[in-house]
Amino acid sequence: MSDLSKTFAALGIEEGDALLVHSSLSSLGVRLEAGPNTVIEALLDCLGPSGTLCFPGLSYLNVTREQPVFDVRRTASNVGIVPEVFRREFASHRSLHPTHSVCCIGPLSHELTRRHHQDTTPCGENSPFSLLPQMGGKLLMLGCSLRRNTTIHAVEESVGVPYVLGGNLEYTLLDWDGGSRRQVYRCHGFDGLEQWYERVVPSLPPQSYVKGKVFKAEAYVMDLKALWAAAVRLLEENPYALVGPI
């Protein structure tokens, strides 16, 4: 096991875990010999063959009202170099969604991604963001703000907070076989609001997360079931608990 794998293990990432990763390579503050591949390979080493590794394949900057075509095989993600390298070089599966897909490799990949196309919102009940908490998954926030936690979007949709969904948009989706379909989705809203998702941390049970360092980057590993439950409680008490005015 590499030193980086040992660092991830010390944060609570274990063999066999289903792990979703949000990342910022530049926040590590070091130059890695193989760049993004070093991070991905260390995570795979830590998870082992029984683990499942997931990265967001979000493409909302590339698939837009002006360019409403999503190709599950080719559309690039727009959330950093590590997820994009993972999509191109490592992932065996990608969920079929125009703006909020997830890329995976490992035993749970098919189950996590196979039904996302049935949702008509970004992070509905069939999205990997909703399924991972049910499957006992974990979340690694690696050098990026806790405000970038897409799982909270899934909680917001599930609770039905008033700001989360906006207008409709029709997209064209190209699947793994090259088949084409057109589908109307409700997009995320958030008009006049910004995400303050770090507010959920004080409500988490202390044993449900670990905070540490990976090189110079702040890192959190969280139990997704506990994160989901804490966010639900906050939003049911106050639908605006995790957002604020821009």
- How many of the other CB atoms lie within 10 Å of CB of 41? 15
Residue 34, pLDDT score: 85
Per-residue pLDDT of the chain (246 residues; tens, 9 = 90+): 699 999 999 999 999 999 999 999 999 999 898 899 999 999 999 999 999 999 999 999 999 999 999 999 999 999 999 999 999 999 999 999 999 999 999 999 999 999 999 999 999 999 999 999 999 999 999 999 999 999 999 999 999 999 999 999 999 999 999 999 999 999 999 999 999 999 999 999 999 999 999 999 999 999 999 999 999 999 999 999 999 999
List the alpha helices (DSSP H) in the chain.
Answer: 3-10, 36-47, 81-89, 109-113, 128-134, 151-159, 224-237
Instruction: Name the burial class of residue 32, with classes exposed (0-12), middle (13-18) and buried (19+) by CB atoms within 10 angstroms of its CB.
Output: middle
Q: Which residues contact 33 (CB under 8 A, 6 or more apart)?
A: none
Q: What is the pLDDT of residue 238?
A: 98
CA distances (Å), origin 33, targets 25, 37, 148, 152: 13, 9, 27, 34
C-beta of residue 148 within 8 angstroms of C-beta of residue 219: no
Contact 142/21 with Cβ under 8 angstroms? yes
